[in-house]
Amino acid sequence: MKPNKNRRLPSLLGVLFAIVLIAAACGGDDGDDGDASPTTAPAESTAPADDPPADDPPADDPPADDPPADDPPADDDNTIRLGIMGECEGAFGGFHEDVVAGATLALINGAGATSTSADTALDGFSGASVAGVPIELVGIGCGDDTADRAIQEVRTLVEQDGANVVIGPLSGDEGIAIANYALDNPEVTFINGISGAQDSTLAVRAPNFFRFNGDGAQWNAGIGDILYNEGGWRTAAVIADDYGFGWTSAGGFVADFCAAGGQIVSQVFPPLGTTDYSSFVQQLPNPDEVDGYFWVIGGTGTNASLEAFLNAKGDLTGDQHAGNLFFSPALADALGTDIAGAYVGGFASLPGDITTPEIEAYLASADAAWDTLSGGLTGNEPGPPSTALGFGFAYGYYTAGLAFVQALEQVGGDMSNNQAALREALSNLELQAPYGPITLDENRQAIVDTFVAQLVLDEASGEIVQQTVAIIPGVDQTFGGTYSTETDPPERDNTACEPRDLPWQGNSIPVIDGVPQR
Amino acid sequence: MISLSARNVAVALTCVALILLPAFGSDFFVDFVATRTLMLGLAASTMVFLSAYGGMVSLAQWLIFGVAGFAVGNVVAESGRGLNLGWGPWTGVFIALVAATLLALLLGILSARSTGIYFLMLTLTYAVVGFFFFGQVTTFSGFGGITGIDPPGFFDDRPKRLYYAALVLSMLAYVGFRAIARTPFGLALQGVRDDPVRMSSLGFNVQLHRTLAFTLAGFVAGLAGVLNIWWNGQIDPTSISIGPTLDLLIIAVIGGISHLEGAWLGAFVFIGANIYLRDIPFLGSIEGLLEERLLAEERFNTVIGLLLLLIMLASPDGLAGIIARIEHGIRLAFRRSNPEGDGSSLRTNGQ
Amino acid sequence: MTSNAAVTQIESHRSLLWLESVTVAFGGLLALSSVDLEVVEGDRLAVLGPNGAGKTTLFNAIAGDITPSEGKVLIKGVDCTALPSRLRPQLGVARTYQKTRLFPGLTVEDNLYLAQTGKQRRHLSLWRNAKDAELRAKAREAAGMVWLTDQLSAQVADLAHGQQRQLEIGIALVTEPDLIMLDEPASGLSKGERERLVELLEALPVDSTLILIEHDMEVALSVADRVVVMSDGEVVATGTPDEIRRNPLVHAIYLGEEAAS
Ligand SMILES: Nc1ncnc2c1ncn2[C@@H]1O[C@H](COP(=O)(O)OP(=O)(O)OP(=O)(O)O)[C@@H](O)[C@H]1O
Ligand SMILES: [Mg+2]
């Protein structure tokens, strides 16, 4: 450290420190008025490189970011600079291609865009415009399933690349972080991708954050009702991953099951990443003490936890088990076909067994837009684009993009006045999406149609497949008042268990052989 | 006697440039690159301080940094997860600094007996325990974390002020750490680093020294953590998971873990690489060579890994070490042409 | 510290150092087995013995770097057997190490300055005060004693091996101890430096007590007024330098071996 040479250093830097203090005071003032006008030319000599992630650099400057309230929108020229916030690393990193493709397909179908590449959406698109206003992709954010990274990425999209509309993000904690960021950045419009944390809309309520997909609780609406009334369950135990999505999914089941009259006798929350579930399964009641179990354990934990149950408590039977969307037909490979009959909660898109003309047209448009896509469902190997787009991740981003395009169309591409007209249109949109209509509530949260499926034994192949049994229409975020802006976000077992009237009770639409009986 | 060594001149010039930066840098650069560089550099400087002067490579600095953030969140936030005390932001700062310092004191007491790789592993364990603590204990956070934390009004929506706060604290920490090295305490700490056995036989309480140094570093890491929470607005357990913990180590190693200024240098390179390198065309061709589409993040990790490797091969003590060696060369040349010299001799660091 | 002093023996009270059947075992190896030793104020004691005899281990046991498995170590009547090494300087004990133990990241002056602050509370201070100038002056004086005045601001890592050995001694002397223990101080020194070392040691104040491990018989026997010979962890002979020179046993186990090697 060459310490003996530094005797004069403290005094030297002391003087500098004084200068800093003065400069800080001035700098603060500079910040107040200096940013009222859009700043300098793009050539910032201080930045080592200025290339935004997308191929085409933004025509304009990033909008100034401090005191945003009195910041005139830098985009009165009606240029739309779109950022897509994906997740290229972390738990859902494999779905990066899927979600970017979802948003891109909306622009291809609704705004005349052309994908740059025939086998990936990640290279961007060109030629998009709505009502004569060009839409330019300025960047694709690369999240890693953490909120911190989401903030960094979205700030790069907005503050460096100059995005004025952002579609995304993918997962729950990211969604809350970005909704909070939206509060501080009212000049940008955010349309959620597929993240499903309840807080993002119900608690944060940023006026410029819109979500056209359900939250984790909404996706499990209807299943409790069916289990109570058709499965004959009166009591249930819940085992769920100990984090936001686990709590929210479990909360949706609890709210729905209790509304129908059921009782929750036990809730167990193993930490994420648990490998040995035996001690958690031990805490569950025995099969003769409870009518059934609801599982919300994702990833590699799904099989591990069910196997622990097999070892500790005996058979897994379809009439005593149900789960959220993690409860997939693949389980039967390891656990046997006794699981047939189990009910499974919904997700953003509908299972593949449902076909309607709208769905077929949507999937066909995906196959027309690309030759192949290396999405998450095909293990990031090239596969049919419709496989990726038929799954909820891509579909969530598709509905976001579609809502944006349709709202923009309605207002004739008017982005002026802090995008006021666009936001008004988004809030009131009746989105005719391929898997069902979507409208928003007063918190800009989607009211969606979700579904309940069942694992059934396919007689022909002898394999367990997923079959949709009902569509639950008009599911809103509040579960008839169980959740409100006053309640805490779902957390472990804080969802109140009370009988209630839910708007969708008794309105479920049966699905027979893949055809909804509307 | 002139103490304006090339090193000090370079540092002073950098300081002047940083003071003037907001006048000519873009908002994005100031807020996103420079402020974060200063915050992460400040956090990394505590790691460098402990390593360079105390011989302790601590992986708990990021945890302490995070605990300060969680403390601010719990104290300040009015709704959502955590305690929701809803107290004033400056109360939050005070409590956060007390919490960070006390935690550092406790961890320092627990780990003062360990050295070398054992110390590293022990502090890594603290980091992991911290992650699960905040994940599991929903009283303070839970995995969802604490969101929507606003800085005090003075800083709210005024990124330049936050920048200057980070700059002032960084400069204070830099000057302070270097000044401490000359005090009886600092000299003794370096003695503990070089030979704890001899220090003990000379009458020093080696563990007490380690503990106090760790506590001091914890306080400064807490300051960085407070700035960070103001900048970031939210914190959750993944903010202090093993990934970012190791990122801080990478920052320190890139910059040079035996030179204080290396902390900020490393932070700048790390953040700059994250933002600017991920799309350079050259990497696209690496991608082609690998015949596989590397996702941007994997590409970034590859780049950072390569960068780290290159720097380590070129200079085991990081970028600051390279600069020190250039300075050494210049001075040698100068002294040869001017045998009187300035009387100060050259030495390499004992690390 | 005196509170837990166990002054068990009348004799021990008078002696500066009193070892009573001190035993140190490394696994099965008895590095010291039941060593008794008494050193009184003003003694100049040389400890001789072949490699591996246990001389350094004896120092370690006295200095607190190793806790004996059996026996007692009393310094100035204070039972130090289980006290950590950092409490020795208060009792006026200083030692050097056979394998140099310095602070290579600091300068020579800082090494000598640091050595003095160990005994004082001020080594926790974040401020320099007037006392510092005094300690610095002493450090420079000590550097002069070990012929390092020219190297005062040199970093220790850059010193030659011989210079580092000199500093090793300087660090022990600068604390002005009552009991100085030097572990092979002459190793690594040139012939001329050895002669000066002898001068230096002979010039120490008469009341300072010296224990010296030294392979160089010339150095050892010219400085010492009493000699202890060790072998295999045991004290096998004690006496004046002349007696030891004449002792056939010593010739057999030590001098003979030296001659042979
Ligand atoms: N820390 C230790 N662990 C195990 N064995 C040890 C240790 N220190 C010393 N020994 C052993 O104890 C015995 C005595 O060692 P010691 O260093 O005291 O000898 P010495 O008389 O100083 O020899 P030399 O003249 O080589 O310095 C040797 O056999 C040595 O190998
Ligand atoms: Mg020895």
Ligand 1 centroid from CA B119, angstroms: 28
Asked whether residue C9 carries a pLDDT value surpassing 50, the answer given is no
Ligand sitting nearest the alpha carbon of C47? 1
**Domain contains B81:** yes
C12 domain residue, yes or no: yes
Ligand index nearest the alpha carbon of residue C229? 1
- Residue B159 sits in a domain of what CATH number? 1.10.3470
Is residue B78 in some structural domain?
yes
C56 lines ligand 1 (CB under 6 A): yes
Alpha helices in chain C (DSSP H): 10-14, 55-63, 108-117, 130-145, 161-173, 191-202, 217-223, 241-246, 248-250, 256-260
Q: Does an H or E element contain C70, and which?
A: strand C70-75
Instruction: Test B293 with A31 for CB contact under 8 angstroms.
Output: no
Give the tokens for residue B237.
């357990």
Compute φ and ψ for A495, nearest 5 degrees.
-75, 125
- Contact of A249 with A219, CB cutoff 8 Å: yes
In a domain, B305, yes or no: yes
Q: How many domains does the structure of chain C reveal?
A: 1
Within-domain flag for C148: no
Nearest CA in chain B to A15: B12
Mean pLDDT over each residue of chain A, to the nearest integer: 84
Residue C33 near ligand 1, beta carbon < 6 Å:
no
C89–chain B Cβ distance below 8 A for any pair: yes
Nearest beta carbon to residue C155 from set B182, B187, B347: B347
Burial class (CB in 10 A: 0-12, 13-18, 19+), B109: middle
Phi, psi of C116 (to 5 degrees): -80, -30
Contact assignment for A4 to C105 by CB distance below 8 Å:
no
pLDDT attached to residue B124: 96
Phi, psi of A253 (to 5 degrees): -65, -45
Which chain C residues touch A3 with a CB distance below 8 Å? 106, 110
pLDDT for res C116: 93
From the CA of B63, how many Å to the nearest CA of chain C? Answer: 26
pLDDT at A115 (0 to 100) = 95
- Tell me: the pLDDT tens digits for B207-220? 999 999 999 999 99
CB contact under 8 A, C153 and B203: no
- pLDDT tens, position by position, A321-365: 999 988 888 777 778 888 899 999 989 888 888 888 999 999 999
Contact state of B183 with C106 under an 8 Å Cβ cutoff: no
Q: Cβ of C124 and B185 within 8 Å? A: yes
CB of B264 within 8 A of CB of B270? no
Q: Which residue of B has its CA nearest to C171?
A: B202
Domain of residue C244, residue span: 1-90+225-261
Q: Please identify which residue in the block is written with the tokens 């005045």.
A: C149
C155–B348 CB contact, under 8 Å: yes
- A25 contact partners, CB below 8 Å, separation of at least 6: none
Q: Does this complex have an ipTM over 0.85?
A: yes
The CA radius of gyration of chain C, in Å to the nearest whole number, is 19
Q: Is residue C61 in some structural domain? A: yes
**Angstrom distance (rounded) from CA C99 to CA A427:** 79
| Residue of the CA atom closest to atom 5 of ligand 1 | C26
Above 80 in pLDDT, residue A69? no
Number of domains in chain B: 1
Instruction: Give the mean pLDDT of A217-228.
Output: 95
What CATH number does residue C83 fall under?
A: 3.40.50.300
Contact A44 B26 (CB under 8 A): yes
Model pLDDT for residues B8-41, shown as the tens digit of each residue: 888 999 999 999 999 998 888 999 999 999 999 9
Residue numbers in B near C130 (CB within 8 A): none
Q: Does residue C187 line the site of ligand 1, with CB under 6 A?
A: no
Give domain status of residue C95, yes or no. Answer: no
Band (A515; pLDDT cuts 50, 70, 90): confident
Which of A9, A120, A142 is facing B3, going by the closest CB pair?
A: A9
CB C18 within 8 A of CB C74: yes
Is C70 domain-assigned?
yes
C170 Cβ below 6 A of ligand 1? no
User: A471 in helix, strand or coil?
Assistant: strand
Q: Is residue B1 part of a domain?
A: no
Nearest residue (by CA) to ligand 1, atom 18, is C54
B183 part of contact set with chain C, CB < 8 Å? yes
For residue B277, what are its two tokens? 């390198």
Atom 6 of ligand 1: nearest residue by CA position: C26
Q: Please report whether residue C97 resides in a domain.
A: no
Whole-number percent of chain B with pLDDT over 70: 87
Of all helices (H) and strands (E), which one includes residue C229?
strand C226-231
Give yes or no for residue C53 CB within 6 A of ligand 1. yes
Does residue B317 lie in a domain region? yes
Asked if B26's CB is within 8 angstroms of A5's CB, the reply is no
Of A53-57, B22-26, C89-93, the poorest mean pLDDT is in A53-57
Q: Is the pLDDT of residue A41 over 70?
A: no
**B6-24 and B318-337 are packed helices; what angle lies between their axes, rounded to 10 degrees?**
130
| Cβ contacts of C153 on chain A, cutoff 8 Å | 4
- Expressed in angstroms and rounded, the spacing between residue C94 Cα and the centre of ligand 1 is 20
Phi-psi region of B343 (alpha: psi -120 to 50; beta: other; left: phi over 0): left
Residue from C259, C217, C204 nearest C44 by CA: C204
Q: How far is CA A181 from CA A166, A189, A313, B16, B141, in A?
A: 12, 11, 46, 32, 19
**CA separation for the pair A164, A138 (Å, rounded):** 10
Q: Taking residues C124-133, what's their average pLDDT?
A: 78
Q: Is C31 in the pocket of ligand 1 (CB under 6 A)?
A: yes
- Under the banding of pLDDT at 50, 70 and 90, the label for residue A63 is very low
* Residue C15 confidence class, pLDDT cut points 50, 70, 90: confident
The answer to whether B345 contacts chain C (CB < 8 Å) is yes
Most confident of A382-396, B285-299, B331-345, C13-27: A382-396
Q: In this model, does residue C166 exceed pLDDT 80? A: yes
Do A89 and A145 touch, CB atoms closer than 8 A? Answer: yes
Q: What's the gap in Å between A378 CA and the centre of ligand 2?
A: 69
C238 CB within 6 A, ligand 1: no
- Say if ligand 1 is within 6 A of residue C55 CB: yes
Tell me: pLDDT of B292 over 50: no
User: Which structural domain range is residue B337 located in?
Assistant: 6-349
Mean pLDDT is highest, among A286-290, A484-488, B138-142, for: A286-290
What's chain B's Rg over C-alpha atoms?
21
pLDDT in tens, A419-444: 999 999 999 999 999 999 999 999 99
Ligand 1: nearest atom to the Cα of C54 = 18
d(CA B166, CA A20): 11
Burial class from Cβ neighbours inside 10 Å (0-12, 13-18, 19+) for residue A33 reads exposed
Query: Where do the domains of chain A lie, and which CATH numbers do they carry?
Result: 76-216+355-447 (3.40.50.2300), 218-348+449-516 (3.40.50.2300)
pLDDT score recorded for residue A401: 97
Beta partners for A439? A447
Domain assignment of residue B54, yes or no? yes
Mean pLDDT check: name the lowest of A408-412, B82-86, C247-251.
Answer: C247-251
In terms of pLDDT, which residue wins out, B153 or B133?
Answer: B133
**pLDDT tens column, B154-212:** 998 888 999 999 999 999 999 999 999 999 999 999 999 999 999 999 999 999 999 99
Residue C251 falls inside a structural domain? yes
Per-residue model confidence as pLDDT tens digits over A182-198? 998 999 999 999 999 99
In a domain, C22, yes or no: yes
Residue A100 pLDDT greater than 80, yes or no:
yes
Distance from CA of C105 to the nearest CA of B (A): 4
Compare CB distances from A6 to B3, B154, B167 and report the shortest one's residue: B3
- Test C64 with B201 for CB contact under 8 angstroms: yes
Model confidence at A489, pLDDT cuts 50, 70, 90, reads: confident
Q: In this complex, do A2 and B182 lie within 8 Å of one another by their Cβ atoms?
A: no
| Pick from A16-25, A243-252, B154-163, C98-107: least confident | A16-25
Q: Which of A54-68, A423-437, B53-67, C77-91 has the lowest mean pLDDT?
A: A54-68
Contact in structure between A186 and A208 (CB atoms under 8 Å): yes
- Residue A74 in this model has a pLDDT that exceeds 90: no
Of all ligands present, the nearest one to the C-alpha of C183 is 2
Mean pLDDT of chain B: 86
Is the Cβ of A28 closer than 8 Å to some Cβ of chain B?
Answer: yes
Respond yes or no on whether the N-terminal peptide bond of residue C68 is cis (omega within 30° of 0).
no
Q: Which of A97-111, B82-96, B197-211, B319-333 has the lowest mean pLDDT?
A: B319-333
Each residue of B228-267: pLDDT tens digit? 999 999 999 989 999 899 999 999 999 988 899 999 999 9
Integer Cα distance of A449 and A446 in angstroms: 10
Scan residues 51-80 of A and list those with Cβ closer than 8 Å to B: 51-53, 62, 64-69
Q: What is the pLDDT of residue A136?
A: 95
Which of chain A's residues have a Cβ under 8 Å away from the Cβ of B147?
147, 176-177, 180, 199, 204
Give chain A positions within 8 Å (CB) of C107.
4
pTM value? 0.82
Is B205 part of the contact surface with chain C (CB cutoff 8 Å)? yes
Helix axes B206-232, B35-54, angle to 10 degrees: 170
Contact check, Cβ <8 Å, A4/C153: yes
